[in-house]
Amino acid sequence: MRGSKHSRVTACVALALAASFSAAAPADDARGLLQRMEQALATRNYQGKFVHEHDGQTETLEIVHRVEGDGFAERLVSLDGSGREVIRRNGELRAYFPDRHVALVENDTRTGLLFSGLQGLDGSAGQMYRLSEESPTRISGREARVLLVEPLDDMRYGYRVWIDEASGMPLKTQLRTASGRTLEQLVFTDLKLLAQVPDAALEPDAPARKCRLLHRTASGVPEPQQAADTTWDAADLPPGFRLVANSTRLMGNRQRAVTHLVFSDGLASVSVFVEPRSGRPAAEPPDDLPVPQTVTRVGSSSAVSTEVDGHKVTAIGEVPPATVRAIAGSLRPGFAPGVRPGARH
């Protein structure tokens, strides 16, 4: 998984946009507001500047978003320092790094840079989160309604979203722990709804156009599917999480087979990558010895690296460290291939 700062920058917005929570009667208005917000994001062209704060760091960025039939085009630019740009269009993502004179190109099927993950959110997420509405307020000179998405345990994060009363667009978002501590915040300082977005607004700046393009593979196409040396599933996932994607591809110069698993509770998700340890026999550690794990934090994302049955296992997601540890530690080999409908609890 590529740990792009831009791809992580606003998961707190994206994940809060579920329109299918199972909530009590007082949340009916909040649910309707979320549906209105999702509709606004799916149908409106917009341009704006926002401030992203996390880990004591602050960055100012600009976004341009254009609806194109059933799809979209989107450009995100850092206004500080290196001038990084990310452009996503027609299922392709290009990340430009003018200070390094390179641009990375890869296929991408997510919904958008700033508001990814809007589609296909699972209705069962309502069993893991509580949706409510706080008192209206003003932000960036606009009347806003405030929605709160609270996790019901400490295995996932929650969200607070300020939504423009007039347009339905998000003005501010926070990613929060179960105890209410803010991990990440995004605030629009300027937001304009546009009738049209010219093509030029979606093109990289002159320094970025001079960057050398580096594709994810030599051919610039996705790695070919490859049969894995074993199949994988999880025997005891955290409550609410289930396996939603399972694929194996050839990666790197040595074309090693890497299995990619995605676990989700319908709102949060964790990616797991499994690859054989070269030159080492597959052997399950003794039951009385813990599997060694190394946990790291990258912004609001947690990552863990461990070993299972002679394979290197890496799990990463915008969830608490305990969640990636639990998911990585629950992997077991030998299940039937493909996506399973759920996991045992």
Nearest to 229 by CA among 73, 334, 127: 334
331-336 mean pLDDT: 68
pLDDT at 177: 92
Cα separation, 337 vs 192, whole angstroms:
47
Locate all alpha helices (DSSP H) within the chain, ordered by sequence. 5-8, 11-14, 28-43, 206-209, 321-330
pLDDT at 21: 36
Cα separation, 11 vs 319, whole angstroms:
11
- Between residues 61 and 278, the one the model is more confident about: 61
pLDDT digits (tens, 9 = 90+) for 263-314: 998 888 899 999 887 654 444 444 443 445 677 877 788 999 988 888 889 9
> What is the average pLDDT value for the chain, to the nearest integer?
77
Cα separation, 138 vs 233, whole angstroms:
47
User: Which domains are present in the chain?
Assistant: 5-215 (2.50.20.10), 232-333 (3.30.200.100)
Locate all alpha helices (DSSP H) within 186-304, ordered by sequence. 206-209
pLDDT at 109: 56
Q: 207 pLDDT band (50/70/90 cuts)?
A: confident
pTM of the model: 0.75
Nearest to 276 by CA among 293, 299, 294, 251: 251
Cα separation, 249 vs 210, whole angstroms:
31
Q: 111 pLDDT band (50/70/90 cuts)?
A: low
Cα 187 to Cα 160, 163, 233, distances in angstroms: 12, 11, 39
Token pair of 155 as six digits:
């295995």
Q: 120 pLDDT band (50/70/90 cuts)?
A: very low
Whether the per-residue pLDDT at 88 is higher than 60: the answer is yes
Cα separation, 241 vs 39, whole angstroms:
27
